[in-house]
Amino acid sequence: NDKRPYLPLMLFGTTLFGSIHMLMVEFPVIGRDLPSAYAIRGYFLCVYAVTLGCQVYCVLCDPGKLQPKELEAFAQANPTTDGSKALPRRCHKMWLFKQPIRRYDHYCRWLTNAIGLLNHREFVLMLIGLLIIGVAGCLVDFVLLIWTSSEGHHFTGFLLIMHLTYSVILTLLAGPILRLHLTFVSRNELANEYKHNLFYIMRDATGKPIPVNDLEDEEFNQGLDNDKFEYEPSLNAFDRGWVTNCINFWCMARWPSSQLGEF
């Protein structure tokens, strides 16, 4: 049976359950023992609200489908010699939609949706929120566990241990994924481009750079196994330095109909 439709429910459900746990278990203890309880509550509520909102948005929204009239206009302005319809740069046709996705990054099985032009920022915000929830949950659970254990609140301590375990697992899962995608953002590289090694080289014995996709199969496997692939900025026409890349990612207007995702 296809279990993919359950993954978004699992992700949303565990995040929502974590927020309810904070509300019902951690918040009462924090309010009793800390003078800054309202600030801490407000902080966690905001993080949970943004994270859950981004999850729902990424699942339900249009990731950036190129509409037929836009595709036709682009094809007429960019004719090809073989008669096929040209696509904007970074636009990709995938199995989930009939229309190609502008600035396609990847398909996320946990969201059962493509990540593209119109939901990429929300996807990264979701990852940031999940990591904050995990790390902050670990710290709060650990401190409260020490306080409650000295007072003999064994059931509360058990609940805190359960939530601490969840927070540790969430941190270990979300952390590496977020790190990878923040690296992509700083390079203005898409996960789909990373998957196909478009901007990577391997140096031979003389130090000469060779594009990864030009390697023989045996050389490719050896380089992959020994972690010898290097990112080469000169191969990425979209890489304008990490500062400009980050500004463009977070501030570039994405909703105008003329935006094809070629940035």
Report the pLDDT value the prediction gives residue 154, as an integer from 0 to 100: 74
Is 185 inside any structural domain? no
Nearest-angstrom CA–CA distance, 116 and 89: 13
Q: Tell me the residue length of the chain.
A: 263
Q: What is the pLDDT of residues 217-259, one digit of tens each?
A: 999 999 999 999 999 999 999 999 999 999 999 999 999 988 9
For the chain, the domain total comes to 1
Sole residue written with tokens 């609200």: 49
Is 79 inside any structural domain? yes
Is 182 inside any structural domain? no
Is 186 inside any structural domain? no
Going from the C-alpha of 103 to that of each of 24, 63, 98, 217, 240, the distances in angstroms are: 42, 9, 16, 29, 17
Report the pLDDT value the prediction gives residue 201, as an integer from 0 to 100: 95
Is 129 inside any structural domain? yes
SS3 call for 232? coil
Of the listed ranges 9-13, 152-156, 192-196, the least confidently predicted one is 152-156
Helix runs in the chain, H state only: 6-21, 27-33, 37-60, 68-77, 120-151, 154-187, 191-195, 217-225, 242-251
Q: What is the pLDDT of residues 204-219, one digit of tens each?
A: 889 899 999 999 999 9
Is 223 inside any structural domain? no
Is 48 inside any structural domain? yes
Is 241 inside any structural domain? no
Sole residue written with tokens 């020490």: 146
Token duo for residue 241: 């330095």
User: What is the domain range of residue 130?
Assistant: 5-174
